[in-house]
Every structure is written in structure tokens, then in C-alpha cells.
Chain A
Amino acid sequence: MSSDQPHAKALRARVRMAPLAPRGGWEGLLGLVSVGGVLVVWELVGRSGLVAPLFLPPLSMVLKEGFLMANSGELWAHLGASLWRILWGFLLGAAVGMFLGLAMGISRVVDGLGHPLVGASYPIPKIALLPLFILWLGLGESSKVAVIGLGVFFPVLVNTRAGVRDVNPLLVQAAISLGSTRARIARKVLLPASLPTIFAGLKLGAGAALLLLVTAEMIAADKGIGFMILSAANLMQTSRLLFGLLLLAGLGLVSNWILAAVERRLIPWKP
């Protein structure tokens, strides 16, 4: 039988390497094994006494710390402040980025004016603008929201613009031949056609938002997860520090899930 020949076997192994091969259920289990494994090793190393709890407290101790913080209400104050900032920053940055990206993708004039500006300001690390925003907007929430918003704004803008410019011109011609006006083409053709690219920008923006959130909170805040991590480190409260990192991992995962769910809903046609 050909299936027993080493040659055929090797070929099939290569076919399995194809990037589009569907993932079976057992591959999902592998993820549980690796993540669970790391957590178990962490717990065991922490308990074994090989490493001082000051440097690596066991997972159970970290979770207990989190439980205590949740009970005292401290956790919710930090988490609430961070969520508020990142949500507003993300929504504002994404909305303005999509709007201007569409405008730049559609209009040569807007693009001619806007593109050099974007090119010059995109490379500035956004966190470097925080002192300026604090100067302008004060130490309150708006300076942090502004920095996060800017971090989301740029990738969303650049991706939206690229998506609109990449729209198959035949689709626009089809819309014209079916009686669409310019404004309706923008809404009914260019926007839906560039949604997949826009979502790539939103995902990049979500990553940038988390990074900027934590950094801004470490520099200038009296609550929030970033502040909590930094002050825990200053006080050698390693459990609390690690719990903050777990929270951030969770926040990143949840934001990815939400974006993926919205994407599936808005782009059911993506094969």
C-alpha cells in the first residue's frame, strides 16, 4: 500500500504543515497542557523553597493576594480606573482613526494634506507625549485617555486608509453602474470592503492601548493596574506585583476575544 511507503508518509507530514490546515480539537488541548504546565511548575517551584518567596511566591499565594484585594475593594478601584481609561482611549482613537482613514483613502486632497503629517508624527513614541498632555490637560484622566487614544488612532488610521485604497475598483464601478452616488459608495462599498483591514488595525491598536495604559499609569496615576504593579514593586510585595501581571494577561486575552467576536459578526463573509 502506498500509505505505508515512507515517501507518502513524508508527503502527508508536509501537507499537514500547510498554514491553512484546519485545527483539530486535540490541538486546542495542547494549549491547555502548555499553559497549565507553566502554572503548575510555577506553583511547585514557589513551594519547593528553591527560590525565596520574595522573588517568586507560588501561584496560590498570588491568587490569595488577589482574593484579598477583591474583598477589600482595592482590586475593583484599580481595575475600574484602568478599564475606564482604556475603553475611552480605544473608542475615541478608533472612531477618529477610522473617520480620517476613510477620508484620506477617498479624497486625494485630504490624503495629500494628511499623509505627510501622519508620516512625521507616527514615529514619535506615544508615551513621550504624555508630559505634554499632562501640561495641557492636567494630571487627571484626560491626559491618559489622550495618550491611549493616540496609540490606537495611528494604526487604525493607517490600516483604514490602506484598506480603502486597496478596494477593488471594479466593485466601485459596479456600484456606480447600479446608481450609487459618491457618499453612498463610501458607506456601502468602501467601508465594508475595507473592514478586514480596519480590523487588523483595531487589533494592533488594542495592543498599543494596553502598553500605553500601563506605562501612563506607572508615570502619573494614583490608581490603576500599572500604578498597582509599580507601587507593589517599590514595597517588595511580589505577590501583588505578579497578580497585576496576571490581570494584564487576562485583560489582553479578553480584549482579543471581544475583537474576534465582533469581527466574526461584522465580517461573516470572510472565507
Chain B
Amino acid sequence: MLTRIEHISKTYTNGKTQPLQALLEISLEIGPNEFVCMVGPSGCGKSTILSIVAGLLEPSSGYVTFQDAPQGKPPTGLVFQDLALFPWRTVEGNVGYGLEELGVPPKERKRRIRDLVCMVGLEGFQDRFPHELSGGMRQRAALARALAPEPALLLMDEPLSSLDAQTRQEMQTELSRLFERGERSFLYVTHDVGEAVFLGDRVVVLSPRPGRVMEVLRVEIPRPRSQSLRREVAFNSLVSQVEALLRGGFE
């Protein structure tokens, strides 16, 4: 599936305060099986872009199209920064939610839930409620829930920001493995420049509000990637390059 974001602008108005221009003329393509990361200063509208692509928010102008979208399932899946797991559902219930909404029969649903739970490494925890899980496990559950309806584009909004450094690197490696299966594209928002370079095929640098695409950098590092990458010159020079762009954007 090819996702086209065409000239999207978003202005928030509530009638009381000054209208707030969050996004200005964002255009971006996410190819089939491509991993695109977005970095930018706080408040530059990164999350707004994801909400618009997910169809949760109407842009003020511009549009999003999905070319060759698979039939009978939602084109996008979304992993929220706050995860937004349903606290009254177990891991199994959360993962199965999207399948219920798609009308997948119970037997097949059970099988697919089991596969997903295994894939994200939550075997043995499928009957736990979210509040009984650690931060990393909740993260895995949220990922499995978003993957369940098999979206062709997975949108992720700073999903690892609440994890400790070690768990975060583990999850980055696992996300990388997940991507390398070649089953879906990613549009991934993060604060962490190293994370963006580690995961992405391209890194989109956004300007401070109103968010515009300042620069798009291609990450020419072969896959599969591992965390030892972080010691390599190519990796670090890209990171410095993005950081310089971000600093420039502030000034």
C-alpha cells in the first residue's frame, strides 16, 4: 500500500483563543514496506499528523490517500503514546478487540490472538489485565492490539518514550525485526533522534510550530540492524546531522 499525505494543513480553532496553526502544507509519501520516522520539537504537530492519517482528525486542508489498500480491513493501525489499552479487558481481550470489530469468527480469532501474543512475547500473560503488567509488557500488548487487524500502515506515536533505556533498546530491535518481515509500512513519531535513525529508512525532520517538513534524510544502513550500530560512524554522523537540523529549527 502506498500512503500519500498531500498538502495537509491543520489549524485548531475553539472560538475563544487565537487560532493555532499546527501544521502547514505537509506532504509525504510512505511507500509499501517502508519505515518512515518523524522527529521534531515538542508541539510541532507530529501527533496531529498521525491522528489525521489514522482518520481520527479532519485536516483543515489537504488529504490522505491510500493506494492499493487491502480490502475488508482498516488501512492503518495506531499505537498511542499513552497506549490506551482497555483496562477492563485482559491482554487477550485487548488484542482481540479489532478482530471482533472486523467480524472474525471466534475460532479464528482465538488462533490469531494466540499467534500475536506469541509474536510480541507475551505467552503466559494473555489472561492478565493491563494494570498487572510492566510498562514494557503493556507496550507489547498495545503493539499486538494494533497489529491484529493487519493494517498495511502502522502508526506509532512515541510508543517507547515511557520505557527505561534498556527496555527501549530491546523494543527497538524487536520493532526492527517486525518491520523486516516485510508485511507492513511504519510511520513512527519519536523524540529520540537515535531511535529514528536506528529504525527508519527515512527520517523526516519537522520544524517548530507550525510544523513543516524541513528535511527528509535517507538512512542508507543495511538491514537487519542491531544495537551495535550505535557505535558506527555512519549512524552517528546521521544522528548529528538530524540534531543540527533540529537545533537550527529552534533558532
Contact = CB atoms under 8 A, between A and B. Distances in A.
B131 interface: yes
Interface residues of A, number: 21
B97 A171 contact: no
Interface in B61-97: 74, 76-78, 80, 82, 84-89, 97
Which 6 A-B pairs give the minimum distances between C-beta atoms?
A178-B98, A179-B101, A170-B84, A174-B84, A177-B78, A192-B88
A56 to B, nearest CB: 50
B145 A178 contact: yes
26 contacts: A168-B84, A170-B84, A173-B56, A174-B78, A174-B86, A174-B145, A176-B55, A177-B54, A177-B55, A177-B56, A177-B74, A177-B76, A177-B77, A177-B78, A178-B74, A178-B98, A178-B145, A178-B148, A179-B74, A179-B149, A188-B97, A192-B86, A192-B88, A193-B88, A269-B87, A269-B88
B102 interface: yes
Interface in B92-123: 97-98, 101-102
Contacts, number: 61
Interface string A230-242: 0000000000000
B158 to A, nearest CB: 14
Contact of B86 (A171, A267, A268, A271): A171
Given A177-B54, A179-B101, A180-B101, A170 B80 contact: yes
Nearest to B80: A170
Contacts of B148: 178
A189 interface: yes
A180 B149 CA distance: 12
Contact of B131 (A188, A192, A271): A271
B129 interface: yes
B59 to A, nearest CB: 16
Interface of A is mostly: helix
A174 B87 CA distance: 12
B82 A170 contact: yes
A184 interface: yes
A45 interface: no
A175 interface: yes
Contact of A269 (B80, B98, B129): B129
Nearest to B129: A269
B102 A179 contact: yes
A29 B145 CA distance: 46
A131 B179 CA distance: 72
Nearest to A192: B88
Nearest to A271: B131
Contacts of B131: 269, 271
A173 to B, nearest CB: 5
A79 interface: no
Which of the listed residues B55, B77, B85, B86 has the most CB atoms from chain A within 10 Å of its own CB? B86
